[in-house]
Structure 1
Amino acid sequence: MPGPDSNWIDLRRDALRGIETLRAHFTGHAYDPHWHDSYLIGVTEQGVQQFHSRRQQHQSRPGTVFMLEPEELHDGDAIDAEGFTYRMLYLSPQQVLQQLDPLHANSKGELHFAATLRNDNQLAYAVWHCFDALWHNHPELIKEATLDRLFMQLSQHPLWRSEVHPADRDKSLALQARDWLIAHHALNPGLQAMAEALHVDRFRLSRLFQAQWGLPPHAWLVQWRLSQARRQLAAGSAPAEVAASLGFADQSHLGRWFKRACHLTPARYQQACTNLPDAR
């Protein structure tokens, strides 16, 4: 029966564009709830990829495109011993907004997927071939052509939804709390200090924060730190420097959290971003 040793993950990064490509296989449990600061667009290759997002359970089967927005909480599991294999692109919000400008004219800087899963052969083909071009470091003309095809498919309006919410005091307070956590991340802030700074009861603050972001403040802050760690490591910063700048106790503390979230050590992630030999 397949076990943990049959799990693998392989990641590469296009140096010019900063787009990460990831291909992975998992049996059993794959990921705890987490989020990324990128748009995730991928295709399930083999098996059934089961995960939760938007308070729903999803099952992505071979050929299905799955799409997740920045800060969209999700997990991952296999439903049987055969596991699942998938390939995925990480696209920055800036890249998506720049390429899909006509769509976000009234979106106030945000684009939201209409659905998490999509059975669309043309979109799956575009994701698959864009992945291949970046993964194998094909000539620039080929990369550009496959990216153009991908964004042409992503420009289809049925893929997106508008999201206009009335002013909401609780949401505003949750946004303030998030911004406060980011501003004070290096100090390892406590919930009581944040509540006092925002002039609100800490129990109420904790409840509305989790209702808005899907995680309690301390867990959300870990995810934010890990997203920043990915950026800094990809840019070449040493793991020890990254740990110190983001408020981790030390490099080993960063390493434990990073491996739990990404299934790679910080050093191996950094090596993979330079397109050196496979760092599984």
Structure 2
Amino acid sequence: MTSNNWINLAQDDETRIETLRAHFEGHAYDPHWHDSYLVGVTEQGVQQFNCRRNRHHSTPGNVFLLEPGEIHDGDAPEDGGFTYRMLYLDPQWLQREISAVFQEAPANTCLAFASTLSTDSRLAQATARAFDVMHHPELRIVRQHALNTLLQALTYNLHWRKKYAQDPRLPRVAQLARDYLHDHMHHNVGIDELTAITGVDRYRLNRAFKSAYGLAPHAYLVQLRLAKARRLLALGVSCADVANALGFADQSHLGRWFVRANGMTPAAYQKRCTNVPDR
């Protein structure tokens, strides 16, 4: 990070919604994903990121929308960098709140964003307003009204996508390897274990996995652990215990990966999530 980069993050106790305002110049963060739905608005500059196999350029007033598990990165292609505000919406919270808007949600479905970037000015205003009242101490009824306005604006950018146990578009070997990584994310998994359960050599496995999920198996495992690390840190688990529980060599090892994906240290992230002023 350059000396001009900064991050301001907080978490709401009631909804567990995280709010983040940040500024980056040059490289911002490496490819990673989150367990939350991300709704953000670009304030200043050009925010460049890769997602869904496309490169996007978000400019002031644009809203960017990412689903849980969507791999994305970030950098500033122009001098002066970019500034943005973002809300991390818990999937269960969003599903429950949106379901209340619809009379009946289709069976066996989950919420999905219709597009990654939106120029909907109403959504941009609702996102910025929701950020403001969630990021700073405000009356509970004011926060709830702002969130309701955001949800109403989001309904025009959401659709119900049918859930699937396994995506038939993806190679079977990639699915097997991914399932194994999820089941053994706390272990010191080796590529030899993945080749044994998939029945292919490491070169074909790497090609199939990266084609399916956008990352090599080792990088995918790291991101899987980092997503869990965010949850544990927000609950107040010590950085050392998080590193030990998730299979990192030590606290410094966790810290190096965490900074590359989130732009801040685990300790800084935890402090911002657990020291939210009483509402």
**Which TM-score applies when normalising by structure 1?**
0.90
2: CA distance, partners of 1:103 / 1:89: 26
Output the amino acid matched with 1:45. E
2: CA distance, partners of 1:62 / 1:55: 23
Superposed CA deviations along residues 20-76 of structure 1, whole A, max 9, x for unmatched, are: 000000111111211111111000001111111111111111111111111111111
What is the CA-CA distance between 1:169 and the residue it aligns to? 7.2
2: CA distance, partners of 1:260 / 1:74: 12
Alignment of 1:99-114 (within 5 A): 99-101=97-99, 102=102, 105-106=105-106, 108-114=108-114
Aligned position for 1:57: 55
- Structure 1: state its 5+ residue gaps: none
What is the CA-CA distance between 1:187 and the residue it aligns to? 2.0
What is the CA-CA distance between 1:198 and the residue it aligns to? 3.6
Output the amino acid matched with 1:250. D
Q: In structure 1, which of residues 5, 9, 25 is the aligned counterpart of residue 7 of structure 2?
A: 9
Q: Secondary structure at the match of 1:110?
A: strand
What is the CA-CA distance between 1:14 and the residue it aligns to? 0.5
| Aligned 8 A contact 2:229 2:242 in 1 | yes
2: CA distance, partners of 1:203 / 1:104: 46
Aligned position for 2:96: 98
Structure 2 vs 1, CA of residues 138 and 117 (structure 1 numbering), >3 Å: closer, same or farther? same
What is the CA-CA distance between 1:203 and the residue it aligns to? 3.0
1: CA distance, partners of 2:195 / 2:66: 31
| Aligned 8 A contact 1:114 1:161 in 2 | no
Aligned position for 1:124: 124
Q: Secondary structure at the match of 2:3?
A: helix
Structure 2 vs 1, CA of residues 212 and 240 (structure 1 numbering), >3 Å: closer, same or farther? same
Aligned position for 2:39: 41
What is the CA-CA distance between 1:276 and the residue it aligns to? 5.4
1: CA distance, partners of 2:63 / 2:265: 28
What is the CA-CA distance between 1:109 and the residue it aligns to? 4.1
Q: Does 1:115 align with 2:115?
A: yes
What is the CA-CA distance between 1:112 and the residue it aligns to? 2.0
1: CA distance, partners of 2:212 / 2:189: 19
Q: Does 1:253 align with 2:237?
A: no
Aligned position for 1:231: 231
Output the amino acid matched with 1:139. L
| Aligned 8 A contact 1:104 1:110 in 2 | no
Deviates more, 1:210-219 or 1:168-177: 168-177
Alignment of 1:1-280 (within 5 A): 4-101=2-99, 102=102, 105-106=105-106, 108-156=108-156, 158-160=157-159, 162=161, 168=168, 170-275=170-275
Identity of aligned residues (%): 51
- Structure 2: state its 5+ residue gaps: none
| Aligned 8 A contact 2:236 2:274 in 1 | no
Superposed CA deviations along residues 90-137 of structure 1, whole A, max 9, x for unmatched, are: 012112211222499347342221111111111111111110111012
| Aligned 8 A contact 1:48 1:59 in 2 | yes
Structure 2 vs 1, CA of residues 253 and 4 (structure 1 numbering), >3 Å: closer, same or farther? same
| Alignment: residue pair count | 274
Q: Secondary structure at the match of 1:6?
A: coil
| Aligned 8 A contact 2:177 2:197 in 1 | no
Output the amino acid matched with 1:188. N
Q: Secondary structure at the match of 1:40?
A: strand
Q: Secondary structure at the match of 1:160?
A: strand
